[in-house]
Amino acid sequence: MENLQTLLQSDTPVLVDCFATWCGPCKMVPPILREIKDKMGDSLRIVQIDIDKNQQLASQWQISSVPTLMLFKEGKLLWRQSGVVPAHQLIPLIKEKI
């Protein structure tokens, strides 16, 4: 897998899903991400990050609750939200931000 920093600097937008294996609501996110990927294809990269395995990154990004979704493009954080967001709300939001 590409280096995360390189990926985030890309001009292809990256949706980052910060999750934890013990988090109940986090289990609802992967089907939402699949639906977004099906609808948006290669115009968006999706990365999932386990905050327990990446504690330094979770601390750097100040992740205090999971799931947290973040949208990056060219290294800039364009949007961030904690909690489960349905795909039909996320897709227009992502398109608006990119």
Of 26, 51, 58, 70, catalytic: 26
What gap in Å lies between CA 68 and CA 49, rounded to an integer? Answer: 10
Q: How far is CA 40 from CA 34, 57, 96, in A?
A: 10, 27, 13
Q: Is 23 noted as a catalytic residue in this protein?
A: yes
Please list, in sequence order, all residues whose beta carbon lies within 8 angstroms of the beta carbon of residue 53, skipping any fewer than 6 positions away. none
Active site amino acids: 23, 26
